[in-house]
Structure 1
Amino acid sequence: MIKTIRVMLVPNNKQKTKLFQYANTARFAYNWTLGREQENYKNGGKFISDGDLRKEFTQLKKTKEYAWLNNVSNNVTKQAIKDACEAYRDFFKGYTKFPRFKSKKHSVPKFYQDNVKIQFADTHVKVEGFAISKKKNKQKLNWIRLAEKGRIPTDCKYINPRIKYDGINWWITIGIEYEDSTNIPSNEGIGIDLGIKDLAICSDEHKYQNINKSQKVKNLEKRKRRLQRSISRRYEKNKKGGSYCKTRNIVKSEKELLKLNHRLTNIRQNYLHDTTSKIIKREPSFICMEDLNVKGMMKNKHLSKAIQQQCFGEFRRQIEYKAQWNNIPVIVADRFFPSSKLCSCCGNIKKDLKLSDRIYKCECGNVIDRDYQAALNLKRFGELALEKSVA
């Protein structure tokens, strides 16, 4: 199996300049490829392969106008051309939408590194072509410091290294191949009910709270709202006619807002990873979840923000790939399965159950928390689904 590792980079000023230069060159090569493909299509030509376009791009670099392309590693532009060709081909196959040109202002700066030439030490990564000189003091420019020590192994084959800028920091993402797990979990299966009051309620009586209700996140959200209003007032104050004048103070405030958004996102992502890892570490024989209609749930204007912050789709994605690493089958119940309305004792379905009814009361005398009951029903659904698959 292939696992992806993402580590933050800590470049100096010269390295930051080089990173942006590489990213801008990759964007230029991508846009140039799309332009050539579109021009060729309008003239009645067939699809141009990435090999032919790379040869054409090599001739382009020999001209005086585009001599600056020679300052960047050849592998960066090669992969950008290949990516554009794949995106163009996938559109005609019906897999994706039509590829768009990358904007200098709005697109994410990123580029590819050759998986053979890239090198890792415990604390640094070597990026190809930053310094051409072989002198030791010049070669130091190639080595960028990693924020985490010993996170990436140094003696293995690397897959698809990519370097990306998120608006604040540079990150490197790399795939590493590991041996498949042979351990088959034999513990009791788990049913998981996702909700807004609590993030996840498990059938084994484990409950994971909603991180967005914690005081830390509430304080950050309050700061975010105040900062957004402050920026909006400054824009109105510096309005000139029909356009807005962006001052240095506005730029500073927008950068602060970006950092705040990143911090909130990181807190939520870290909590999701922590929760899903704890569930997987209990080594259940199976995990059963419900196929939630998140798009339909988002139409409720009173709950849409809370649903969005819970990241149900990301939770399910993490459970699925982590379970696959550990040979745990994931069963997804149909979205019309009455997990909350079905009595876990007698099997009666209470059709008039409202969202405000947090305690389920059945005619048979069963009184239980509705979310915990949903988790029990999902566990039973998973057991029946496994029995059918075996039979």
Structure 2
Amino acid sequence: MKKAIKIKLFPTDEQQELLFQSCGVARKAYNLCKELDLQYLKQFGKGINDRDFGPLMTQIRRGDDFPYMKLVSADVAKQAVKDYITARSRSFKNFKNGYHVNWKTRKSKLSFYADYVKTKVKRKAVYISMIGDIKTSSQLPRNFKLGNPRVSYDGLSWWISITTEVPKPEQVELTDVSIGLDLGLTTLVTTSDGQTFDNIMKSESVKELDKKIKQYQRALSRKERGSKKYQQTYERFLKCVQKKTNIRRNYAFHVANALVRTKPKRIVMESLSIKHMLKNKRLAKAIHDVAWYNLQTIIIQKANFFGIEVVKVDSRFPSSQLCCVCGNRQPMPLDKREYNCQHCGISINRDLNAAINLASI
């Protein structure tokens, strides 16, 4: 089975310049595809055929209009073309007329593709075509086929992401129990068996980080963009943001590991309409901070790894309004934390009640 790996790179100053050039070429090639596509659409009423993008990009790269494209590997531009085709195909599914593909700007994530055939793994280093051997923070797996190597920059450090084949884990004997998960803001996860996981974003360490982030944002607004002081403050700001992201991500893995360790037959959770929830201005920041979608994705990945079935229930299912004992339905405003059934008289925590209802589906 495939596993994704992300490892930090330590390039020299010369290598870092080539990495930035590669990111620039990837962005330019992507934008050229969009520009040509829009011109063709305006002239002929339809976009360029997928198979015609490759020869067009080869012609552009060999010309004299963009000489810097020849300084980096040809695979960078080739993959940027494929990325545009993928983005365009995805836009057809989401929009009636397609072509809702965004331009890549200087604010976009800096990344490029490194051909898996030419990329070679060495001892605590990786060879990237036309850049050379770059030191890595840890050893990449050797004697394995590297899938879709991508080099990216997060504002502070360079990273390489790959997918590689790993042996399947031994089949774990699962119990006959179904676990329901209710995701919330006060308590991040409540399970149908009574287990709870606090919202890590409400911890003191994260609150201190939020204060620092606000201070750095105010400081940045007072400094001249591009100045040395601005850059120093921006790097400190990025470190705080990344630290907060890492805390949230590590905690999500902790929650997922704790859930699969109980070896349930299946895990049931709601398909949350997060886009709709973000319309509530009072809760928008808290909802954005907890990153429910990322948490669900990690839980699904861990469950699939151990062969646990994952069921996602429609967001319209009234899990919080139904009594887990008698099935009575009654309205439950957000400020009510206890479910007091008007039919059978049971009093139970609203999140636990919702989790039990989900588990019984």
Partner of 1:106: 107
SS of 2:360 mapped into structure 1: helix
Q: Compute the RMSD of aligned alpha carbons.
A: 2.6
CA distance in 1, matches of 2:17, 2:63: 24
The equivalent of 2:359 in structure 1 is 379
Whole-Å Cα distance in 1 between the matches of residues 339 and 256 of structure 2? 27
1:344 Cα offset (Å): 2.6
Task: Please give the per-residue CA displacement for 1:269-311, whole angstroms capped at 9, x wherever unaligned.
Answer: 1111221122123221000112333233323332222122111
In 2, distance between residues paired with 1:292 and 1:78?
37
Matched residue SS, 1:307: helix
Structure 1, unpaired ranges of 5+:
131-141, 239-244, 382-391
Alpha carbons of 1:301 and 1:47: their partners in 2 closer, same or farther (altered >3 Å)? closer
Q: Tell me which structure has the larger Cα radius of gyration.
A: 1
CA gap 1:93/1:376 in 2 versus in 1, 3 angstroms = closer
2:41 corresponds to: 41
Q: How does 1:113-192 map to 2 (within 5 A)?
A: 113-130=114-131, 142-147=132-137, 149-150=138-139, 152-180=140-168, 183=171, 185-187=173-175, 188-192=177-181
What residue number does 1:21 align with?
21
> For residues 20-61 of structure 1, what are the alpha-carbon distances to aligned partners after superposition, in whole Å with 9 as ceiling and x for unaligned?
011112222222233333333333286545654444444444
Q: Which residue of 1 aligns with 2:207?
A: 218
In the alignment, the residues of structure 2 paired with residue 352 and residue 89 of structure 1 have an alpha-carbon distance, to the nearest angstrom, of 42
Give the Cα–Cα distance (whole angstroms) in 2 for the partners of residues 293 and 63 of structure 1.
48
Question: Would the alpha carbon gap of residues 372 and 15 (structure 1) be closer, same or farther in structure 2, given more than 3 Å must change?
Answer: same
For residue 73 of structure 1, what is the aligned residue in structure 2?
Answer: 73
Alpha-carbon distance in 1 for matches of 2:93, 2:352: 45
Q: Which residue identity is paired with 1:125?
A: V
Cα distance in structure 1, aligned partners of 2:68 and 2:280: 53
Task: Give TM-score, length-normalised by structure 2.
Answer: 0.88
Residue pair 2:185, 2:287 contacting (<8 A) in 1 also = yes
Structure 1 residues 59 and 345, CA gap change in structure 2 (3 angstroms):
closer
How far 1:89 moved relative to its partner?
4.7
Query: Could you tell which deviates more after superposition, 165-174 or 51-60?
Result: 51-60
Alignment of 1:205 with 2:194, yes or no, is yes
1:356 aligns with one of 335, 339, 343:
335
Structure 1 CA distance for aligned equivalents of residues 231 and 178 of structure 2 = 52
Corresponding residue for 1:241? none
The separation in 1 between residues aligned to 2:258 and 2:13, in whole angstroms, is 40
Q: Is the 8 A contact 1:190 1:286 kept in 2?
A: yes
Equivalent AA in structure 1 for residue 182 of structure 2: D
Q: 8 Å contact 1:120–1:153 — kept in the other structure?
A: yes
In 2, Cα distance between the equivalents of 1:45 and 1:358? Answer: 57
**In 2 relative to 1, CA 127–285 (structure 1 residues): closer, same or farther, beyond 3 Å?**
same
Distance 2:130 2:319 in 1: 57
Q: How far off its partner does 1:266 sit? A: 1.6
Partners of 1:90 and 1:334 in 2: how far apart? 23
Q: Contact 1:6 / 1:173 at 8 angstroms: preserved in 2?
A: yes
Q: TM-score of the superposition, structure 1-length normalised?
A: 0.82
- Counting matched residue pairs gives 357
Structure 2 residue matching 1:377: 3-state secondary structure = helix
Deviations 1:161-184 (A, max 9, x none): 111112221111111134555726
Q: Is the counterpart of residue 314 in structure 1 residue 294 in structure 2?
A: yes
Is the counterpart of residue 332 in structure 1 residue 312 in structure 2?
yes
Give the C-alpha shift of residue 371 in structure 1: 1.6
3-state secondary structure, aligned to 2:70: helix
**1:141-188: CA deviation from partner (whole Å, max 9, x where unpaired):** x111222x23x3111112111111122211111111345557264212
